[in-house]
């Protein structure tokens, strides 16, 4: 038997209502913010991710699915959504009228050690805004992520936010951080020893408890921000307060992707981050486009569903409405006709496709959660008057073959 690949999951029919509810909330929230959907290929040139997410990041360095295609090109399954959207923005010259607000719902691939909330394929609802370096841009993007989580039903959200400055102030901070890491080098894990030289900021993202303890005493980037970055950060914080979004400044929040400048943030529900994002003012230019200030977020849908389950958030499953049961062979054709008429009138309907007995058809209708069952036998076919039964309480009514939609509308209206 061939099983699902390690670190991946099937979305099974029983869970489809949850996924559909999440996607509907994503589309709804995006529409409220006038963001437009974008779809980019699941694979891109590996170079795109090397030049954006960063060669020294874990995501690219250790977790990226890289392969050579038949033309000898080095390709990669996307390990995140931002780079492909930025590539498309530049390639399709999307920036004629700014701002441009995009969103996407897509799969992402990372070769990670699978564990709860960490998969090799996961899905993200994400958004990328192009065009403004104003703090209001950050605030609006963050409120979109926040409103989306509220729309799902989360109430106790924590927004952690920091500024990691621009390349100029970060260079100063990197010097101080590197010196700190060297002073503590013997107590650090192997990865952090390497990070100390290659990309010191990345060390702060380490999950090893001993390292985290040491980093509590590391220098804070907030003490190294230049005047412009400091003012920008303060204005973002002000803006969040003004729109009523609770936040905590976390001076050690750095995030694991290299393209960020200034604002970085994460939103959680008491557990691991559901949403991660930030500003990336240098990425467009770095990928060959015009200078373009941008900000974006990504939300992991599997993590969101797990957190929603833990919170008891209920995604109402869609209940089918009418099952049309055949009591005799002759009724089957009429059942199919009625089902089609009802569907065309917008009422979800089904009839037996398996040759089940009447009893088994009722059992099936009950298990599937149908609200009503119409039964057709010889006498109903002859009279054109059918009996419709409400499954919840067994109440029956008459319904007529030649006015089935009108009668059904009346019954549903009276519910």
Which residues contact ligand HAM by CB under 6 A?
A: 80-82, 110, 112, 117-119, 122, 124, 126, 128, 257, 273-278, 296-300, 302-303
For residue 243, what are its two tokens? 């729109």
Q: Please, are residues 335 and 350 in contact by the beta-carbon 8 Å criterion?
A: no
Whole-number minimum distance, CB 209 to ligand HAM, in Å?
Answer: 20
Closest to ligand HAM by CB, 285 or 366:
285
For residue 359, what are its two tokens? 């009893």
Whole-number minimum distance, CB 251 to ligand HAM, in Å?
Answer: 18
| φ and ψ at residue 278, rounded to 5 degrees | 165, -175
Instruction: Give yes or no for a cis peptide into 134 (omega within 30° of 0).
Output: no
**373-407 in b/e burial notation, b at 16+ Cβ within 10 A?**
bbbbbeebbeeeebebbeeeeeeeeebebeebeeb
Whole-number minimum distance, CB 268 to ligand HAM, in Å?
Answer: 8
Closest to ligand HAM by CB, 116 or 249:
116
Closest to ligand HAM by CB, 119 or 148:
119
Whole-number minimum distance, CB 276 to ligand HAM, in Å?
Answer: 3
Closest to ligand HAM by CB, 109 or 386:
109
CA distance 165 to 295: 14
Cα 408 to Cα 54, 358, 388, distances in angstroms: 60, 22, 9
CA distance 279 to 129: 9
| φ and ψ at residue 317, rounded to 5 degrees | -75, 140
CA distance 265 to 90: 25
Whole-number minimum distance, CB 94 to ligand HAM, in Å?
Answer: 16
Whole-number minimum distance, CB 202 to ligand HAM, in Å?
Answer: 13
Closest to ligand HAM by CB, 105 or 399:
105
Q: Please, are residues 190 and 204 in contact by the beta-carbon 8 Å criterion?
A: no
Task: Using the Cα atoms of residue 361, residue 362, residue 364 and residue 368 in order, give the sign of their dihedral.
Answer: positive
Whole-number minimum distance, CB 45 to ligand HAM, in Å?
Answer: 17
Closest to ligand HAM by CB, 1 or 12:
12
Closest to ligand HAM by CB, 41 or 369:
41
Residue 18, helix vs strand vs coil: helix
């Amino acid at each position: 038997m061939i099983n699902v690949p390690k670190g991946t999951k099937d979305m099974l029919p029983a869970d489809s209502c949850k996924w559909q509810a999440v996607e509907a909330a994503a589309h709804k929230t995006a529409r409220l913010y006038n963001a437009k959907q974008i779809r980019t290929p699941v694979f891109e040139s590996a170079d795109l991710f090397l030049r954006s997410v960063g060669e020294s990041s874990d995501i690219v360095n250790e977790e990226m699915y890289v392969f050579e295609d038949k033309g000898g090109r080095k390709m990669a399954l996307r390990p995140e959504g931002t780079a492909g959207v930025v590539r498309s923005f530049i390639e399709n010259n999307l920036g004629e009228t700014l701002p441009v607000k995009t969103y996407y719902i897509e799969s992402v691939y990372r070769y990670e050690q699978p564990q709860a909330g960490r998969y090799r394929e996961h899905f993200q609802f994400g958004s990328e805004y192009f065009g403004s370096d104003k703090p209001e841009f950050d605030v609006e993007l963050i409120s979109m992520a926040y409103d989306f989580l509220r729309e799902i039903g989360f109430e106790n959200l924590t927004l952690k936010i920091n500024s990691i400055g621009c390349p100029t102030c970060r260079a100063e901070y990197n010097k101080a951080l590197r010196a700190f890491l060297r002073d503590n080098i013997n107590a650090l894990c192997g990865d952090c020893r390497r990070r100390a030289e290659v990309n010191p900021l990345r060390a702060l993202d380490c999950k090893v408890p001993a390292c985290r303890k040491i980093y509590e005493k590391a220098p804070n980037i907030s003490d190294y921000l230049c005047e412009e970055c400091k003012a920008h950060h303060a204005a973002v914080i002000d803006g969040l307060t003004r729109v009523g979004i609770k936040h905590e400044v976390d001076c050690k929040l750095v995030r694991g992707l290299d393209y960020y400048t200034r604002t970085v943030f994460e939103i959680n529900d008491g557990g691991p981050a559901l949403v991660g994002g930030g500003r990336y003012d240098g990425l467009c230019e770095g990928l060959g486009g015009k200078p373009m200030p941008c900000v974006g977020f990504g939300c992991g849908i599997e993590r969101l569903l797990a957190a929603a389950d833990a919170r008891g958030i209920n995604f109402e499953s869609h209940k089918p409405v009418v099952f049309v049961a055949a009591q005799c062979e002759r009724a089957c054709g009429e059942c199919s006709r009625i089902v089609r008429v009802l569907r065309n009138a917008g009422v979800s309907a089904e009839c037996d496709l398996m040759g089940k007995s009447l009893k088994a058809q009722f059992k099936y209708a009950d298990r599937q959660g149908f609200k009503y069952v119409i039964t057709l036998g010889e006498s109903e076919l002859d009279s054109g008057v059918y009996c419709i039964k409400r499954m919840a309480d067994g109440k029956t009514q008459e319904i007529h073959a030649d006015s089935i939609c009108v009668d059904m509308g009346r019954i549903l209206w009276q519910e």
